Structure 1
Amino acid sequence: MYADAEVSLAILAKAPIPGRAKTRLIPALGPEGAARLHARLLRRTLAVACHALPSARITLWTALDPDHPLFLELAERHGIILRPQPEGDLGERMHRALALSGGPAMVIGSDCPVLSPSLLTACAGRLKNHDAVCLPAEDGGYGLIGVRHSDPRLFNDIAWGTGSVMAETRERLATLGWRLACPATVWDVDRPEDLRRWLEWAGRHPGEESAFR
């Protein structure tokens, strides 16, 4: 069952170019291996998203190479929208993606293997009676943020890539007077130490993993 069709989803992703994608995993996997893993995670993320939301409400915001064959393949397979990411830091790019949706919207990356259609649906549902929804990550960031309408103050001058992102975001939301829902805590595959956890998780969920490729 789809989530509320009024809610849009933006997915931010780099092209799987060796040496430029998943760079923190290169010491463990090498440039080619890190790029292949990034592509695998992105394929799964798109499949999960399209189980939760109508494809017409999903935009893949691309970076590094907007015409990369993987992006074109995913757009053709799923019927999603492709747009190049704008200039600016992560906060500016997320704000732009959310603001251009024209209504309630969520934004995610592509490296959270525990993201599921039911979790995306739950997050979309929270926006009916909350101003914002987040999936805090165990590393202090977040795996998803959604808003009824975007405000640049929510994203300006955040220490992106650090363990204080979620705490800073909570402070911004409190300053704005916005009601926040956090349906779950998640983890992502970003560092070499995350690989073992991901492999163990995939081993425990073989049917689920193969269903979203």
Structure 2
Amino acid sequence: MSSKQAIILFTKNPELGKVKTRLATTIGDEKALAIYKKLLQHTREIVTPLEVDKILFYSDTIIQNDNWSTAIFMKKVQVGNDLGERMNHAFQMVFNLGYESACIIGSDCYELNTTIIAEAFESVKRKNMVIGPTFDGGYYLLGMNKLHSSIFKNIEWSTETVFDDTMKEVENLNLSSHILTKLTDIDEEKNLPQHWK
């Protein structure tokens, strides 16, 4: 283990018709898949320089010979019925491996960069939780130094109340938290950066 911190990456297997489905309703499946692949590349580029261990969780099956090098990324598969269960399981696995803190990100946020993730890892050394809100009411990053399973329960995923409901639970547990800068997730065509359209 090269560090006591790990980044958990949640990705969907890049298959036609299965990624960015809300985006695909207006731009079509093929374009949506191409954009998702760009987002995966962006995510790979921003996490590679981080001096933390990197654990990639695929949505369905592990792809051995893809662009995610096994020299850099430990590969796993997500387990659980909904996003909350899947994230809880991933954090549980990482803490069971002996890591002192972990941050999770998806691959939907083109505004996310290495500096913001590094800030998250610094914050979670001092605070119980770190969270990066998105303009649509969700979050692009969540970090903690101990598993708090209840923050993944009773959340209506993919709604505009995800961040607020999560923060209510953080307060209920009396946890200290650091809020990162608010960013845009790409879920619909209006979220796309101009040069990607």
Q: How does 1:108-119 map to 2 (within 5 A)?
A: 108-119=105-116
One-letter identity of the residue aligned with 1:90: L
TM-score (norm: length of structure 1): 0.84
Alpha-carbon separation, structure 2, partners of 1:40 and 1:17? 14
The structure that is helix-richer by fraction is 1
State how 1:169-188 maps to structure 2 within 5 Å: 169-188=166-185
CA RMSD in angstroms comes to 1.9
Question: Which residues in structure 2 correspond to 1:114-125 (within 5 Å)?
Answer: 114-125=111-122
Q: CA deviation at 1:77?
A: 6.9
> Of 46, 66, 72, which residue of structure 1 is paired with 2:65?
72
Distance 2:69 2:180 in 1: 32
Helix, strand or coil: the match of 1:98? helix
Counting aligned pairs with the same residue, the percent is 25
Equivalents in 1 of 2:70, 2:86: separation in Å? 25
Q: CA deviation at 1:191?
A: 0.8
Count of matched residue positions in the alignment of Structure 1 and Structure 2:
192
Per the alignment, residue 91 of structure 1 pairs with 84
Q: Is structure 2 residue 57 aligned with structure 1 residue 61?
A: yes
Query: 2: CA distance between counterparts of 1:130 and 1:106?
Result: 13
3-state SS of 1:143 partner:
strand
Letter in 2 for 1:199: Q
State the AA in 2 paired with 1:181: H
**Per-residue deviation, 1:128:** 1.2
The 5 Å alignment of 1:2-151 reads 5-54=3-52, 57-67=53-63, 72-76=65-69, 79-102=72-95, 103-151=100-148
Where does residue 211 of structure 1 map in the other structure?
Answer: none
Give, in whole Å, the separation in 2 of the partners of 1:46 and 1:140. Answer: 24
Task: List runs of 5+ in structure 1 lacking aligned partners.
Answer: 204-213
CA change 1:43–1:77 in 2 (3 A) is farther
Gaps of 5+ in 2: none
Matching residue's letter, 1:156: K
The correspondence for 2:194, drawn from 188, 194, 199, is 199
Query: Where in structure 1 do 4 or more consecutive aligned residues deviate above 3 Å?
Result: none
User: One-letter code of the match for 2:23?
Assistant: L
- The 8 Å contact of residues 131 and 180 in structure 2, kept in 1 or not, is answered as yes
Give the distance between the partners of 1:105 and 1:161, measured in 2 at CA.
22
